Amino acid sequence: MKYTIKDIAKFSGVSTATVSKVLNNKDEKISERTRQKVLEVSKKYNYSLNRVASSMVTRKTKTIGLILPDISNPFFPEMARGVEDKSNELDYNIIICNTDDDIKKEKKYIKTLLEKMVDGIIIVPSAGGESASNFSKLNLPIVIVDRDVDSSKIKGKVLVNNFKGAYEGTKYLIDKGYKKIAFISGNLSNTNALERFKGYKKALKDKNIGYDEKYFYEGEFRKEWGKKAIDKMINSGLDFDCIFSSDDMIAIGAMKELKNRGYNIPKDIGVLGFDDIYMAKLMEPELSSIKQPMYEMGHAAADMIINIINDIELKEKEITFKTELQIRESI
């Protein structure tokens, strides 16, 4: 038998309004004894509030949309876990969408989330800087995480200092003795890639090493691009002693190709990545990387969007996390 809110109210000896308030966590003025009674009866009869029906009254579904660009990259599942844990803690559900960094898919998923009546959206914008156009007509809160874009619709940002991370990583490589450092990048239309490239160039300048464009290779944030970049570098006869990749997946592809060609890492070529995904420690040798607090970024983004949804004033509308250099065996 399927029980209704009227049944739970009758069994508890209270009104349906009281049951609704208790199950919606809006029971500040209800006695602890009554609250516990309602919860015990609800549990006994396996009753849970219908979110859609409840939303007709509260205008909220307690559901958040999470839009990611590449769920196969270990960086993003770790971030998603942070979003999920904080959402569960505050009794919110999440719907995860994967865009493959495709602006059209992003637009499609935003429409889908609106149809699902989500209360807000956390999004890692697609590369290319076009995401702002997808936000223009939205009437619900948006928090961006990891990648920065400008839009009046964005109510909060959770970012990391990519410039400083790349700057400090490059300085460390130079201080360690590397002088011919090639930079393998994702597409510079991605703000993260651009800021990391700028940090790399600034460190070279500050260490009196001139930037040479032949040491710069622009492609995608994918393992396959790391392999292709090494192919190009070696086939062109480039003289290099270190690789700095703008993410770990690129670095992993580069390492595999270097090893396939008989190079010893780090004796012949050093390799530094960016992100510090779990796979970095599984490589042989272990990959050194610029660590981003992926889980904490997701956790903070969920906290931010839920506060916005509930009209709680934010202490900070933009949170910028620091990076940390993780030295292992590859440099």
| Domain spanning 162-291, CATH class | alpha beta
Q: Could you tell me where the DSSP H helices lie in 116-247?
A: 131-135, 162-175, 191-206, 223-235
Q: What are the angstrom distances between the C-alpha of 21 and each of 28, 34, 57, 65, 88? A: 9, 11, 11, 25, 19
Model confidence over 18-35: pLDDT tens digits? 888 887 766 667 888 898
End-to-end CA distance of the chain: 65
Same fold, 63-160+294-321 and 162-291: yes
Give, in degrees to the nearest 5, the angle at Cα 318 between 313 and 319: 110
- Is 271 in contact with 256 (CB distance < 8 Å)? no
The residues facing 244 across adjacent strands are 183, 272
Give the number of C-alpha atoms closer than 13 A to the C-alpha of residue 146, restricted to the C-beta side: 28
- What does the domain layout of the chain look like in residue ranges? 5-49, 63-160+294-321, 162-291
Q: Tokens 């440099």 appear where?
A: 331
Superfamily of domain 63-160+294-321: Response regulator (3.40.50.2300)
- Is 250 in contact with 229 (CB distance < 8 Å)? yes
Model confidence over 271-313: pLDDT tens digits? 999 999 999 999 999 999 999 999 999 999 999 999 999 999 9
Return the pLDDT at 49. 61
In tens digits, what is the pLDDT along the chain, a chain of 331 residues?
677 888 889 999 999 888 888 877 666 678 888 988 988 888 888 776 655 455 544 567 899 999 999 999 999 999 999 999 999 999 999 999 999 989 899 999 999 998 888 999 999 998 766 667 777 777 899 999 999 988 888 999 999 999 999 999 999 999 999 999 999 999 998 899 999 999 999 999 999 999 999 999 999 999 999 999 999 999 999 999 999 999 999 999 999 999 999 999 999 999 999 999 999 999 999 999 999 999 999 999 999 999 999 999 998 999 999 999 999 999 9
